[in-house]
Chain A
Amino acid sequence: AQKITQTQPGMFVQEKEAVTLDCTYDTSDQSYGLFWYKQPSSGEMIFLIYQGSYDEQNATEGRYSLNFQKARKSANLVISASQLGDSAMYFCAMRESGGSGTYKYIFGTGTRLKVLA
């Protein structure tokens, strides 16, 4: 079973509108971290936002917010006021215990966002 599921392979959004990128996760751990990364066409991985499993408030970073619904195991990324430069691939990721005091990262398959002028 997928541990991180991103059900939207591709999305379009009009410039200046808000968009939500979906992410659901599966873990039996109580302690875990959730991340979103952006990968523009140039290929680098850019960190956007983090949410810890015990954080009661949704994380926000500028135009990015993470809609964290723990009971539903969802961690959707909301981008407000989309800009042309937001066109990129977006990855949801989870950091969870790898056993024996280690931790590991699991990524989703990504959502390619295209912002239309």
Chain B
Amino acid sequence: EAQVTQNPRYLITVTGKKLTVTCSQNMNHEYMSWYRQDPGLGLRQIYYSMNVEVTDKGDVPEGYKVSRKEKRNFPLILESPSPNQTSLYFCASSPYGHRVLATDTQYFGPGTRLTVL
């Protein structure tokens, strides 16, 4: 089954304790992205990756790191989480890395609800 998986789905942690949220897609997609969703703010792009070893900052990259060593995986790393990073996080992927007008959409993972105390 074609899908984007995220782990964990739920996480409660404490300020300053490093964590990684994994994201994996099995569709050989070039483009992968991380979003956070907060009430009243919609989804905001944190980082995106056009292909392996190519990553770029989105609108809200502060406090986050990513890496794209393999095409299928795009982990989100919070080196020192803070309470303002409490949010719902989505990973997404889409087939083409260099086509703004491609008709393909993003495929979203199920989301990871993170609480930082």
Could you list which residues of chain A lie within 8 angstroms of chain B, going by C-beta atoms? 4, 6, 29, 31-33, 35, 43-45, 47, 50, 52-54, 91, 93, 95-98, 101-110
Identify B45's interface contact among A45, A91, A105, A109, CB under 8 A. A105
Could you list which residues of chain B lie within 8 angstroms of chain A, going by C-beta atoms? 31, 33, 35, 40-45, 48, 50, 54, 56, 58-59, 88, 90, 92, 98, 100-103, 105-106, 108, 110-111
User: Contact at B40–A109, with CB atoms within 8 Å?
Assistant: yes
A35 to B111, CA, bound (A): 19
The 10 closest A-B pairs by CB, nearest first: A45-B108, A107-B43, A47-B105, A109-B42, A107-B42, A103-B100, A31-B100, A52-B101, A110-B42, A102-B56
Identify B103's interface contact among A50, A102, A110, CB under 8 A. A50
Identify A31's interface contact among B41, B101, B103, B105, CB under 8 A. B101
Output the residue of A44, A96, A102 with the most chain B CB within 10 A: A102
A97 to B48, CA, bound (A): 12
User: Contact at A35–B42, with CB atoms within 8 Å?
Assistant: no
User: Contact at B59–A32, with CB atoms within 8 Å?
Assistant: no
User: Contact at B111–A43, with CB atoms within 8 Å?
Assistant: yes
A92 to B13, CA, bound (A): 32
User: Contact at B88–A47, with CB atoms within 8 Å?
Assistant: no
Measured between beta carbons, the chain B residues less than 8 angstroms from A6 are: 42
User: Contact at B101–A98, with CB atoms within 8 Å?
Assistant: no
Residue of chain A at shortest CB distance from B43: A107
A47 to B42, CA, bound (A): 15
User: Contact at A98–B98, with CB atoms within 8 Å?
Assistant: no
User: Contact at B100–A44, with CB atoms within 8 Å?
Assistant: no
Measured between beta carbons, the chain A residues less than 8 angstroms from B105 are: 35, 47, 50
User: Contact at A33–B100, with CB atoms within 8 Å?
Assistant: yes
User: Contact at B44–A52, with CB atoms within 8 Å?
Assistant: no
Residue of chain B at shortest CB distance from A9: B40
